[in-house]
Amino acid sequence: MNVSVEYQALAPIIILLAAGVLSVLVEAFIPRTLRRPIQLMLVLASIVLAFAYVVINATAQLAGDPVTNGGQVKGLRQLAAGGAVAIDGPGMVIQGIILLVSFVSALLLAERQIDPQGDAFASRSSTLPGSEDERQFTAQGWLQTEIWPLYLFCVGGMLLFPVSNDFLTMFVALEVFSLPLYLMASMARRRRLLSHEAALKYFILGAFSSAFFLFGAALIYAATSSISFSTVAVAMENSSQDGLIIPGIGMIAVGLLFKVGAVPFHQWVPDVYQGSPTPLTAFMSAATKVAAFGALLRVFYVAFGGMRWDWRPMMWVIAILSMVIGSLLAVTQTDMKRMLAFSSVAHTGFILLGVISTSAAGLSSTLFYLLAYGFTSVGVFAIVGLVRDASGEATHLSQWAGLGKKSPWMASIFALFLLALAGIPLTSGFTGKFSVFTAAIDGGATPLVIVAVVASAIAAFFYARVIVLMFFTEPPVDGPSVVVPSAFTTVAIGTSAAFTLLLGIAPQPVLDLVINAGLFIR
């Protein structure tokens, strides 16, 4: 078979992966002192270039009049690489969000001013924690740049994941972005054992869920003789093999729901969020969720769209469990990162409301929510990384007491992010919640929205508790302080805060964007 490759449509993915290869070569051949600036340039430039290509593709003038090209006036909508990849409106929006979030996260990863020993990553991740080697390397001030090639591969895989149009491409993309994440999660400079444990847990459970995904794909293949989403969708309509299809859908759902961190596949979330280096947690909490939801949307709208009456009850249960358990467990946490991890589980439940709607409104509201949540999440973890005492980050809630008095600005921005997560009006979180709730009620899921409202009320409690802690309690005597970061982190936090506010006060342009993105192509 003669497979053509549509280079322009695939350009964002190719750019990132090529930059990743280049970055490996930089690690191998460029002297240590020069690596950091070169790597950083490479990463930021490739993300910007890829984003430019996404914009170009999304606004490309199409040939022919709107009637012949399917009513589309602007923007690519095409299958690429022999039908393995589908470049369409929602796919490009997801890619755009991933790139924006990755750019901001890259700034956080590049930060070298907040830890007196260097950056957030181990001076040599090959040394044993607590060993003499480790002590020496740390004392000599070694700094590694090996996260950058990993980061580029990871982002490249994430770009492919939501636009994959068959199960095998999707599986490959899943592994391409997951493996670097497992590695990066283990590289924290402080509390290395915790970081190793997190990475191992993430790896084992992740591998397990990937296997589920693959097995599910095999079952679907057995029932429909196809791995391509559009063919699967058609074949399912006429298939009587429910004994294969239903378990297949379930297993693929397990693989994808694991990545988005939905209950009951959420056990890794708190441990990994807590153990990973905080800049990476910021990246993971935002970008992984966006990419995985992109893939989830495509699989369940395109491949399993016709089966929605079969999978909806399952998704209802998972959405309810995620919202309720996520919010309830977040209330009991005493560690900031774990609390935010459970809050992220709850948010997964809210986003699932949009997925369940299986309508145009459901799709566009989910996209909006992902953008809103992505930036807020990056911002919130960026600030968590700044609150430090002598032993590193101070993540215990009690250590945050009175922070509003010590650094009112940072505390106020943090409060803004928390309010956005709680879904208070005039923040991006509210607009996001409002749009998914509307889509859900319109799709007949009123009981789910009522559960979501109750969960939001529970969630509001623990977010508000942190704000009270910061502003209304006296700071402890030897409490941590907010470190003054370099321009990198400042820009990252500023951007996140700006998006959080802007999407709350004037969301119309972005709403237009996600509504005009249209539907998935088949």
Partner 1 sequence: MLLTTLMLIPLVGSIVVFLLPAAKVTLAKQIALGFALATLVGSVLMVLGLDNSSGGLQHVESYDWIPAFGISWTLGVNGISAALIVMAAILVPVVIVAGWWDAENSGRGTVKGFFALILALEVFIIGVFTANDLFLFYVFFEAMLFPIYFLIGRFGGLQRAYAAMKFLLYSLVGGLFMLAALIGLYVVSSRELGQGTFDYVTLTSLNIDPATQKMLFLGFFFAFAVKAPMVPFHTWLPDATAEATPGTSTLLVGVLDKVGTFGMLHFLLPIFPEASKFYAPVIIVLAVISIFYGALLAIGQTDVMRLVAFTSISHFGFIVLGIFVMTSQGLSGSSFYMVNHGFSTGALFLVMGYLVSRRGSKRIADFGGVQKVAPILTGVFLLSGLSGLALPGMSSFISEFLVLAGTYAVNPTAAIIATLGIVMAAVYILWLYQRMMTGVPSKEVEETVTEISRRELVAIAPVLAIIIALGFVPQVALNVINPAVDQVQTYVGVTDPESAVVIEGSGS
CB of 93 to partner 1, least distance (A): 15
Residue 27 burial (C-beta neighbours within 10 Å; 0-12, 13-18, 19+): middle
For the CB of residue 457, give the shortest distance to partner 1 in the complex, in Å: 4
Cβ-in-10-Å burial (0-12, 13-18, 19+) of 283 comes to buried
Instruction: Tell me which of 239, 241, 438, 481 binds partner 1, using CB under 8 A.
Output: 438
Q: Which listed residue (41, 204, 468, 487) binds partner 1 by CB under 8 A? A: 468
Nearer to partner 1, 86 or 422 (CB): 422
Interface segment toward partner 1; rule CB under 8 A; list 198-206, 394-402, 446-454, 488-496: 446-454
HSE-up of residue 147 (Cα within 13 Å, Cβ side): 31
CA neighbours closer than 13 Å in the CB half-sphere of residue 10: 19
- Which of 40, 55, 460, 502 is close enough to bind partner 1 by CB under 8 A? 460
* Of 58, 84, 254, 424, the one binding partner 1 by CB under 8 A: 424
Query: Kind and range of the H or E element at 80?
Result: strand 78-80
The answer to whether 328 contacts partner 1 (rule: CB under 8 A) is no
Minimal CA–CA distance to 152: which of 87, 203, 103? Answer: 103
Q: What is the total count of residues that contact partner 1 (CB under 8 A)?
A: 31
Stretch touching partner 1 by CB under 8 A, among 290-298, 307-315, 381-389, 467-475:
467-475
Residue type, 414: F
Contact 54, 99 (CB under 8 A): yes
Q: How far apart are CA 203 and CA 200, in angstroms?
A: 5
- 6, burial (CB in 10 Å: exposed 0-12, middle 13-18, buried 19+): middle
For position 446 contacting partner 1 by CB under 8 A, the verdict is: yes
Distances 507 to 111, 250, 503 between C-alpha atoms, Å: 30, 36, 4
The most distant pair of C-alpha atoms in the chain lies apart, rounded to whole Å, by: 72
Task: List the one residue from 218, 464, 501, 519 that touches partner 1 (CB under 8 A).
Answer: 464
Q: Given the rule CB under 8 A, which of 71-79, 253-261, 344-352, 507-515 is the region that contacts partner 1?
A: 507-515
In the list 60, 73, 193, 453, the residue contacting partner 1 (rule: CB under 8 A) is 453
343 binds partner 1 (CB under 8 A): no
Question: Quick one: which of 441, 501, 502, 519 contacts partner 1 (CB under 8 A)?
Answer: 441
Residues that bind partner 1 (CB under 8 A): 424-426, 431, 434-435, 437-438, 441-442, 446, 449-450, 453-454, 456-457, 460-461, 464-465, 468, 471-473, 506-508, 511-512, 515
